[in-house]
């Protein structure tokens, strides 16, 4: 793998330009057709994709006051989002029922659902079977909804996977027992998504076992997954200096069915980060988007606002305005696109 310092310097140098992301694959062998509704990449060279923009349900979590579903849905719609992604809301809870009752009042085109399990780390390993049952249950519920959301799953928990820096945590500390648990969980998740016709993605996250592109590839290969694919999350990718660079990801076959992207910006050290508004962090989102466009990615782009602070409506509106402005810039002035 290329020198990590070179990777970070490369990203920062290109940030002086203006645009992008993309991704590619690993050796899973021949892959079956995507599940019904799965969004596929298209060949480059055509018109720029107009990706559906999704509000991840944590933009309002950093505020003392609580926001109703009605207020959050309205904020997403007024800000110009095309869809909404629920985050760790139990589909059997009263809170979920409140949200579902309001779904018909919205005009979102795309819905998403995010779930997590801590059964990979030792503290919760004894609950792995019941955690898997819960994942299967939520997949089946989502598969029977009229809105049929895509489903993203993270393997959370740090515990014994902790370390002094991001690149020394998570997958860097994982032992065989952790990988085997991850394989078991994702194998069940993959089967459930396939049987219920859901688009499933494995969500990467700093400090956890799936924290880099290469750790996602390893887990999906170990699980023999043929439906679930890796997700790309800009902030978790950028934070960990052990991550493959974008070109290496794009060259990986497993990413040919990329179906879920998160573009969140942040301020980073080698051991901490905080999310910030779309154009205020260290990541050059224009370069990331240029990469995505060149790759031909047509799927949803979500954004998160965990503890950004301030008015969450302004924060989420800035994301939509920022993405649309970059896309328009490349259409109106292609010479401003930093990629050849």
Q: Which 8-state DSSP code applies to residue 208?
A: S
pTM over 0.85: yes
Task: Give helix 94-102 / helix 69-79 axis angle, nearest 10°.
Answer: 40
Report which of residues 308 and 234 the model is more confident about: 234
C-alpha–C-alpha distance, residues 191 and 195, integer Å:
6
Strands 301-303 and 273-276: unpaired
* Confidence class for position 42, pLDDT limits 50, 70, 90: very low
The domain spans of the chain are 18-336
Q: Answer yes or no: are the C-beta atoms of 259 and 54 closer than 8 Å.
A: no
Q: What percent of the chain has pLDDT over 70?
A: 85
Residue 282 has pLDDT above 50, yes or no: yes
pLDDT at 95 over 50: yes
pLDDT in the model for residue 26: 28
> What CA–CA distance (Å, rounded) separates 251 from 262?
20
Task: Kindly state the average pLDDT of the residues 36-55.
Answer: 69
Band (14; pLDDT cuts 50, 70, 90): very low
Regarding the domain with residue range 18-336, which homologous superfamily does it belong to in the CATH classification? Answer: Divalent-metal-dependent TIM barrel enzymes (3.20.20.150)
- At 62 the pLDDT is 64
pLDDT digits (tens, 9 = 90+) for 154-180: 999 999 999 999 999 999 999 999 999
The reported pLDDT for the residue numbered 64 is 60
The three-point CA angle 101-106-111 to 5° equals: 85
Q: Is the pLDDT of residue 257 over 70?
A: yes
pLDDT band at 63 (very low <50, low <70, confident <90, very high): low
In the prediction, which pLDDT does 59 show? 85
């Amino acid at each position: 793998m290329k020198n990590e310092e070179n990777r970070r310097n490369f990203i920062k140098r290109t940030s002086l330009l203006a645009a992008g992301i993309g991704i590619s694959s690993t050796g899973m062998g021949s892959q079956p057709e995507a599940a019904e509704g799965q969004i596929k990449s298209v060949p480059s060279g055509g018109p720029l994709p107009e990706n559906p923009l999704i509000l991840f349900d944590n933009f309002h979590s950093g505020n003392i006051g609580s926001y109703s579903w009605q207020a959050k849905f309205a904020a997403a719609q007024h800000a110009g989002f095309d869809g909404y992604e629920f985050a760790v809301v139990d589909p059997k809870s009263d809170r979920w029922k409140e949200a579902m009752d309001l779904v018909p009042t919205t005009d979102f085109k795309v819905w998403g659902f995010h779930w997590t399990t801590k059964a990979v780390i030792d503290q919760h390993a004894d609950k792995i079977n019941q955690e898997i049952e819960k994942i299967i249950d939520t997949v089946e519920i989502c598969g029977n909804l009229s809105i049929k959301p895509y489903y993203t799953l993270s393997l959370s928990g740090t515990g014994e996977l902790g370390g002094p820096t991001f690149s020394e945590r998570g997958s860097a500390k994982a032992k065989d027992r952790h990988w085997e648990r991850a394989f078991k969980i994702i194998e069940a998740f993959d089967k459930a998504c396939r049987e219920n016709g859901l688009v499933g993605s494995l969500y990467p996250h700093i400090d956890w076992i799936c924290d880099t592109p290469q750790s996602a590839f390893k887990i999906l290969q170990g699980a023999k997954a043929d439906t679930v694919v890796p997700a790309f999350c800009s902030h978790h990718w950028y934070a960990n200096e052990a991550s493959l660079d974008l070109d290496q990801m794009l060259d990986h076959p497993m990413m040919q069915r990329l179906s879920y992207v998160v573009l969140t910006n942040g301020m980073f050290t080698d051991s901490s980060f905080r999310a910030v508004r779309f154009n205020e962090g260290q990541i050059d989102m224009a370069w990331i988007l240029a990469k995505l466009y060149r790759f031909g990615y047509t799927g949803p782009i979500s954004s998160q606002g965990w503890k950004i602070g301030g008015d969450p409506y302004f924060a989420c509106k800035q994301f939509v305005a920022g993405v649309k402005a970059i896309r328009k810039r490349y259409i109106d002035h292609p010479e401003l696109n930093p990629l050849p």
